[in-house]
């Protein structure tokens, strides 16, 4: 019983660390345009992760790659300028759009 509880706690910590790493990468280098999924989406909903205002199509790809965008960081209240960059989601391979700071 004690061993299975410790194993469960270790798995939860490991998954949390993986998700936090992904969220930190979004937070430090860029911001997803629109609502993200997974842990980053949860952090956006709770106003802990930044959002950006690039125009996207239904598939999630950038409508105008290279366009000027703004990154709003809800924690600090700062707004940074950037450019819309097309990419692919690391977990799913689907197209996505990020606002990368200048």
Give tens-digit pLDDT for 23-68: 555 445 678 888 877 787 888 888 888 889 998 888 888 999 999 9
With respect to residue 50, please indicate whether it lies within any of the assigned structural domains.
yes
Residue 17, both tokens: 């660390």
Whole domain around residue 40: which residue ranges?
A: 32-102
Question: Does the predicted TM-score (pTM) go above 0.85?
Answer: no
With respect to residue 13, please indicate whether it lies within any of the assigned structural domains.
no
* Buried residues in 62-75 as b, exposed as e (16+ CB within 10 A): beeeebebbbebee
With respect to residue 18, please indicate whether it lies within any of the assigned structural domains.
no
With respect to residue 24, please indicate whether it lies within any of the assigned structural domains.
no
Confidence class for position 10, pLDDT limits 50, 70, 90 = confident
Percentage of the chain lying above the pLDDT 90 cut? 13
With respect to residue 76, please indicate whether it lies within any of the assigned structural domains.
yes
Nearest to 56 by CA among 84, 29, 76, 75: 84
With respect to residue 15, please indicate whether it lies within any of the assigned structural domains.
no
With respect to residue 7, please indicate whether it lies within any of the assigned structural domains.
no
Task: Please state which of the ranges 14-18, 26-30, 43-47, 79-83 shows the lowest mean pLDDT.
Answer: 26-30
With respect to residue 16, please indicate whether it lies within any of the assigned structural domains.
no
pLDDT of residue 16: 64
Domain count, the chain: 1
């Amino acid at each position: 019983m004690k061993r299975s509880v410790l194993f469960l706690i270790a798995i939860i910590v490991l998954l949390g660390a993986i998700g936090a790493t992904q969220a930190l990468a979004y937070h430090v280098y860029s911001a997803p345009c629109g609502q993200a999924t997974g842990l980053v989406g949860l952090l956006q909903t709770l106003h802990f992760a930044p959002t950006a205002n690039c125009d996207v199509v239904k598939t999630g790809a950038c409508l105008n790659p290279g366009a000027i965008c703004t990154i709003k960081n809800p924690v600090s209240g700062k707004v940074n300028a950037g450019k819309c960059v097309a990419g692919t989601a690391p977990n799913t391979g689907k197209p996505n759009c990020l606002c990368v700071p200048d």
